A = this chain, B = another copy of it.
Amino acid sequence: MFNYNMLLDDLGSKQYQHLQTELLQQNPADIAGFLETLESEKAVVIFRMLTKDTASEVFANLFPETQRSIIEALTDKEIAAIINELYLDDAADFIEEMPAGIVKKVLANAREDTRAQINSLLQYPDNSAGSIMTVEFVDMPGDITIAEAFGRIRKVGPDKETIYTCYVTDGTRHLEGVVSVRKLLLSDSGARVRDVMDTVFVAARTLDDQEAVAHQFKKYDLLSLPVVDKEDRLVGIITIDDIIDVVQEEATEDFEKMAAMRPSEKPYLRTGILSLARNRITWLLILMISGMITGGIMRQYTAAIAAVPLLVTFVPMITGTGGNAGSQSSTVVIRGMALNEIGAQDFVRIWWKELRTSLVVGALLSAVNFVRVYLQEGDMMLGFAVSASMLLTVIIAQTLGGLLPMVARVCRADPAVMAAPLISTMVDAVSLIIFFSIARLILPV
């Protein structure tokens, strides 16, 4: 167990020896969490107590702000030790978050090959396979024996992010096959790697979207995936720990977009007020202007409202239920598309499914309304107007909600935009027109 208080006591009473012993027994992720709670000078003092190996692992687990304050306090030699020890994908992630001055200082202290590799990783676009891959993998020729393969793993393994999948390449770095350490261990040590390797394997290209890569991991239960360039040469691998982050990031992005926000770059508690406001304001403005249009529609019916002011008291319920019904449908379809369970070819199936579901749901809600209005107002025609509007609104809301995300996908827009806020705003307008049209038809307004 990680005992923050004991470590703080040690720090307060300057029992550095005891503190160091305790620290080095902890998991690097926990040490990083502890450093995040300290003021930056204290964090630096403790960071310096770590061994080189642990220091780089802890460093990779820190938030960018803390990484920055530590780097600013370290000597060139200490920086060199960290940057050369970091896994290259972690190093590239860190560099990407730093201001230019720090980047220059860090890269100047990196070994030349490290610097070149970090620079090449930084060139891949955000959210591409290239941007999440690492170039530290175990490769080997196919004509060595399994015993020789283990020799190679022992030699190059300590610096590699994973050794459990090895990549068999020819002289020009073309990927010929993959072989797991499991397969190597369970095979005869005299056999050739080529004879036990898998030649049917999944690979990604550097520019593939990270979400598509995550689907491959899930579908094939992979631990790692080779990444090849346009000429099919092996340039890196993606490991599963980074895929969990991708899955969570993509879901978070969808949550934000579906609540009418621009995706944020940092966790909520680390995002400033102005960034939060900026992420929220664009869509609120767009939706507010759409709300004005809805108001304009309502203006067409002011005569009816003046004649029967009671009518407007049903508006919040009808528009609200329509919005909720529509966002239920759009949510399941958007999520189904994100999980690759629904594709463009399912358009008619979804229309048919939503139509029938909305009939069931709408009929029930509309029956409840008829009874309620009739009992409360004693007006059967009013009850009929409200319940018919409810039924029609739910049907339109759920079919629109189910289909619009698919239309967005076909138009190469992000389906997540067609979520609750936009659907509700559209349904508001539609349901108002339905309600007042029916009311004008069958009521004395």
Contact = CB atoms under 8 A, between A and B. Distances in A.
Given A181-B164, A285-B368, A295-B317, A332 B251 contact: no
A283 interface: yes
A320 B315 CA distance: 12
Interface string A141-185: 000000000100110011000011000000000000000011001
A429 to B, nearest CB: 8
Interface stretch (A92-100, A129-137, A212-220): A212-220
Interface centre among A182, A245, A284, A316 (most CB of B within 10 A): A316
Majority SS of interface residues in chain A?
helix
A221 B247 contact: no
Interface stretch (A12-20, A41-49, A110-118, A336-344): A336-344
A378 interface: no
A224 to B, nearest CB: 11
Interface centre among A254, A256, A319, A320 (most CB of B within 10 A): A320
B163 A182 contact: yes
A36 to B, nearest CB: 12
Contact of A218 (B248, B310, B360): B248
Contact of A273 (B186, B247, B357, B372): B357
Interface stretch (A3-11, A71-79, A228-236, A321-329): A321-329
Interface stretch (A22-30, A119-127, A407-415, A437-445): A22-30
A305 B312 contact: yes
A328 B292 contact: no
A200 B163 CA distance: 22
11 contacts: A214-B244, A243-B244, A247-B248, A247-B251, A252-B339, A255-B258, A268-B341, A273-B357, A273-B360, A280-B328, A315-B316
A309 interface: yes
Copies of this protein chain in the complex: 2
A327 to B, nearest CB: 5
Interface residues of A, number: 112
Contacts of A80: none
Nearest to A303: B309
B324 A287 contact: yes
A255 B310 contact: no
A163 B183 CA distance: 11
A46 B219 CA distance: 21
Contacts of A353: 268-269, 273, 276
A288 B321 contact: yes
A261 interface: yes
A320 B286 CA distance: 12
Contact of A157 (B185, B241, B305, B336): B185
A247 B158 CA distance: 30
A313 interface: yes
Contacts of A214: 244
Interface centre among A313, A330, A356 (most CB of B within 10 A): A313
Given A291-B316, A291-B317, 10 more contacts: A26-B200, A154-B185, A259-B331, A260-B328, A267-B336, A280-B325, A284-B321, A284-B324, A285-B364, A424-B424
Given A240-B240, A292-B317, A325 B284 contact: yes
Nearest to A275: B357
A251 B334 CA distance: 13
A355 to B, nearest CB: 10
Contacts of A154: 185-186
A342 B270 CA distance: 11
A383 interface: no
Contacts of A27: 200, 202, 220
Nearest 9 Cβ contacts at the A-B interface: A291-B317, A259-B331, A251-B251, A277-B360, A295-B313, A294-B316, A302-B309, A291-B320, A221-B241
Nearest to A279: B328
Interface in A375-414: none
B305 A309 contact: yes
A335 interface: yes
A191 interface: no
A374 interface: no
